[in-house]
A and B are shown apart, each in its own frame.
Chain A
Amino acid sequence: MGLAPFAAFAVLFLVLPTAGLFVGAFQDANGNFTLANIAGLATPVVANAFRESIIISGASALLGAVGGLAVAMALVGPGSPRVLRATMLTLSGVASNFAGVPLAFAFLATMGRVGVVTIILREALGIDIYAAGFNLLGATGLTLVYFYFQLPLMVLLIMPAVDGLKREWSEASAMLGATAWQHAWRITVPILFPSFAGATLLLFANAFGAVATAYALTGSFINLVTIVLYSEIRGEVLHDPNLGYALAFGMVAITGVCNLIYLRMRAFAERRFR
C-alpha cells in the first residue's frame, strides 16, 4: 500500500538514527546502562554551552516575538494600506528563509569592523560601536543576527491570530465604557497570549537548533551547544562519543518540550476562537 515506503523511510532515516543516539546517551563504551553521560552534561564546558545557547536563543526569540507582534498589529490597523501589508508579508517570507551562511555574510558586511553601518555610525555620528564594546562575533552580535530571521518568522506566525481580532470587540468594550488600556489588558492580551507564547517557544527552538549562521559568523569560537556538537561530530572535541549522544539527547529534550507546549497553546487558541 501507499503508506509502506513512507513508513520504511521514516523509520530508517528519521526514527532509527535519532533513537540510536538516545539509546547511546544512556550507555557506556561497552554498551552497559549508565547515567554518567547525562551527568556529564553538567561539566563546565557543556553546561556553559547550554547556558549560552539558551540565553542567545531566548533573547532573540523574545525580541523577535515582541517586534513581530508589533509589526503584525501595525499591519492590520486602519492606517496601513494594502500594498504595504502585501509587501511586508512577502519581505517576511523571504527574510525568514534567508538564514544560514549568507545571512552571516550580510551582517559581517553591514555591522562588522569595516561594515557599512559601522563606518557610517563612526564617521557621520561619531559613534564607535566597537569601542563601546559591541562585538558582532559575540553573544550580542549573534542575538542581533538571529533577530533577523526571528522577527519576520513571528510576523508570519502571529498574523492569523492578529487578523482574528474583531473590530466589534473593541466597539463593544468601548460601548460598555472601557478605556483603551482596559480593552488591551482585558480583551486583546488574553486572546493573543496563547498564540504569542506558543510562537515565542517555536522561535526559541528554531534558534536553539541553528548551526550554520553561528558557524559562518564565528567559526567554532562561540560556545553554543550546536557548535560543540558540530565539532564533536567532526571529531575535534570531547573525545567521548557517548557524551555527544547525551548532548544530542539534551537538545531534543529542550526543543521537544518547546514544541509540545507550542502545540498545546495552538490547540487552546484554536478552540477559543471557534
Chain B
Amino acid sequence: MRPAAIVRVAIISLGALYLLLPLVGALEFALRMRRGVYSLDAFAAVFADHRFQDTFLYSCAQAVVTVVLGVGLIVPAAYAVRRHAPRLRGVVEFVTLLPLVVPAIVIVFGYVRLYGTSSFLPLTDSEWGANALLAFGYVTLSLPYIYRSIDAGLTSIDVRTLSEAAESLGARPHTVLLRVVLPNIRTAILSGAFLTAAIVLGEFTFASLLDRPAFGPFMQLLGANRAYEPAALSVVAFGLTWGLMVLIGTIGGRRRGNRG
C-alpha cells in the first residue's frame, strides 16, 4: 500500500472506531449486570418493565399521528405550490426550514406560554389537549424532513402532465391528489415517515416539558435511577435507529432503481 492510502485507511478506521466504541462500551456494560458473568439480565429487566412497554407504545402512537398529520399537511401544500403558485415555493420552503433554525426548546417554550393554563386556548390543561399539542410539536420538528422527502418525490414525477391527464378525464382536485399524486410518491413519503419516526421515538425535550408519558423522558428517568439498564436501553435505541436508517436506504435505492 502506498503511504497516502495507509493514511486514508487509518483516518477512516479512527473515525469508525470513535463511532462504534461507545456502542461496544454500552453493550459490555449492560452485559455485566450479573456479578462475574456476562448475562442479558439488563435487557430482560428493560423489556419486562411495564413503563418501557407503555412509554414505547405511546411514542409509537405519537410517531404514527405525526406522520399522518405531517403528510396530510405537506402533500397538499407542496402539490398546490407546484401546480398553482410556483412563486410561493421559496416561502413554503423557508417555513419548513425554520424548525432547524429555532431550537426545539424555544418552540416548546412558546407552546407552554401560548397554550398554557391561562391562555386563550389552554391545551395543556387536558390530557387530550396535551397529547395533541405534543403531536403538533412533533409535526413542527419534522417539517424539514417530511417536506424535503415529499418535494424530492414530486420532483421525480411529472406533476403537471399527470394532473392534467387526470383532470381531462374528469377527476376533481382531491381525486387527483389522493389517487394520482399520492400513489406516485409513496416511497418518498415512506422515507420521510421513517426519518420522522427516528426523531419522534426518542425525543426528550418536548415530551418532558409538556409532561407526557413518552419514551424519551422514561429513558432519562431510568438513567437517573439505575446503573445497567440505561446501557441496555442505549444499545436497543442504537439498534432501532440503525434499523430505521437501513429501511430508508433500501427504499431510496429501490426508488432510484425504478426511475432508471
Instruction: Name A residues whose Cβ lies closer than 8 Å to a Cβ of B.
Output: 1-3, 5-7, 9-10, 12-14, 16-18, 20-21, 24, 67, 70-71, 74-75, 77-80, 84, 87-88, 90-95, 97-98, 100-111, 115-117, 147-148, 151-152, 155, 205, 208-209, 211-212, 215-216, 219, 226, 229-230, 233-234, 241, 244, 248, 251-252, 255-256, 259
Give the contacting residue for A101; candidates B21, B74, B81, B204; CB below 8 A.
B204
Contact of A24 with B113 in the complex, beta carbons under 8 Å: yes
Instruction: Among B110, B140, B237, point to the contact of A102 (Cβ < 8 A).
Output: B237
Q: Are B220 and A209 in contact (CB under 8 A)?
A: no
Is B77 in contact with A3, judged by CB distance below 8 angstroms? yes
Chain B residues within an 8 Å CB radius of A103 = 22, 234
- Residues from chain A with a CB closer than 8 A to the CB of B48 are none
Known contacts: A100-B202, A109-B26, A109-B234. The answer to whether A2 contacts B76 by CB under 8 A is yes
A6-B77, A17-B114, A74-B12 are contacts. A244–B109 as well, Cβ < 8 Å?
yes
23 pairs of residues in contact across A and B, judged by CB atoms under 8 Å: A1-B84, A5-B73, A13-B140, A24-B113, A70-B15, A88-B16, A90-B249, A93-B249, A94-B241, A97-B199, A97-B241, A106-B231, A107-B25, A108-B230, A109-B234, A110-B22, A152-B19, A212-B205, A216-B204, A229-B105, A229-B109, A230-B209, A251-B106
Minimum C-beta distance from A163 to chain B (A): 15
B198 sits at the interface (CB 8 A): yes
The stretch among B59-67, B91-99, B162-170 that forms the contact with chain A is B91-99
A residues less than 8 Å from B224 (CB atoms):
219
Residue in chain A with minimal CB distance to B72: A5
| 7 residue pairs, one from A and one from B, having the closest CB atoms | A17-B110, A110-B25, A79-B5, A209-B103, A2-B76, A2-B80, A109-B29
Contact A106 B238 (CB under 8 A): yes
Cβ A211 vs Cβ B104 within 8 A: yes
Interface size classification for chain B: 35 or more
Q: Which residue of A lies closest to B173 (CB)?
A: A2
In whole angstroms, what is the CA distance A10 to B107 when docked? 12
Cβ-defined partner of B92 (8 Å) among A6, A24, A88: A6
Task: Check B106–A18 contact: CB distance below 8 A.
Answer: yes
**How distant is the Cα of A108 from the Cα of B230 in the complex, in angstroms?**
9
How many A-B contacts at CB < 8 Å in the complex? 249
A3-B113 contact given A102-B202, A230-B205, A252-B103, CB 8 Å threshold: no
Query: Cα distance A229–B140 when bound, in Å?
Result: 20
Residues of A within 8 A of B104 (CB): 209, 211
Chain B CB count within 10 A is highest, among A10, A92, A155, A241, for A10
Select B220's contact among A21, A148, A216, beta carbons within 8 Å: A216
Name the B residues within 8 Å of A75 (CB-CB).
12
- Tell me whether B103 and A101 are in contact (CB under 8 A): no
If A94-B242, A216-B219 touch, whether A3 touches B112 (CB-CB below 8 Å) is no
Q: Are A20 and B110 in contact (CB under 8 A)?
A: yes
Contacts A244-B109, A255-B103 hold; do A102 and B25 have CB atoms under 8 A apart?
Answer: no
Q: A74-B9, A152-B19, A208-B103 are in contact. List 20 more A-B contacts (CB 8 A).
A: A3-B81, A10-B95, A17-B107, A20-B110, A67-B15, A71-B15, A74-B12, A75-B12, A79-B5, A91-B20, A100-B203, A101-B237, A104-B223, A106-B231, A106-B234, A109-B231, A148-B19, A215-B220, A252-B103, A252-B106
B25 CB contact (under 8 Å) in A3, A88, A116, A212: A116
B219 & A102 in contact (Cβ 8 Å cutoff): yes
CA distance A222 to B12 in the complex (A): 33
What separation, in Å, do the CA atoms of A109 and B233 have in the docked complex? 11
How far, in whole Å, are A216 and B79 apart by their CA atoms in the complex?
41
With A74-B12, A105-B234, A110-B29: A3-B4 Cβ-Cβ less than 8 Å:
no
Give residues of chain B (81-140) contacting chain A, Cβ–Cβ below 8 Å. 81, 84-85, 88, 92, 95, 98-115, 136-137, 139-140
Known: A88-B15, A103-B234. A9 touches B139 (CB 8 A): yes
CA distance A101 to B205 in the complex (A): 10
Give a binary string over B202-239; 1 marks a CB under 8 Å from any A CB, 0 the rest.
11110001000000100110011000001101110110
Minimum Cβ distance to chain B for residue A83 (Å): 12
- A residues in contact with B99, CB < 8 Å: 14
Interface centre among A93, A111, A251, by most chain B C-beta atoms within 10 angstroms, is: A93
Q: Please, which residues of chain A bring their CB within 8 A of the CB of B199?
A: 97
Question: How far, in angstroms, from A109 to B31 measured CA to CA in the complex?
Answer: 11
A100-B216, A116-B25 given; A18·B204 CB < 8 A: no
User: Is residue B35 contacting chain A, with contact meaning CB distance below 8 A?
Assistant: no
Q: Using Cβ atoms and an 8 Å threshold, which residues of chain A touch B202? A: 100-102
Q: Verify B101–A102 contact, CB threshold 8 A.
A: no
Q: Are B107 and A94 in contact (CB under 8 A)?
A: no
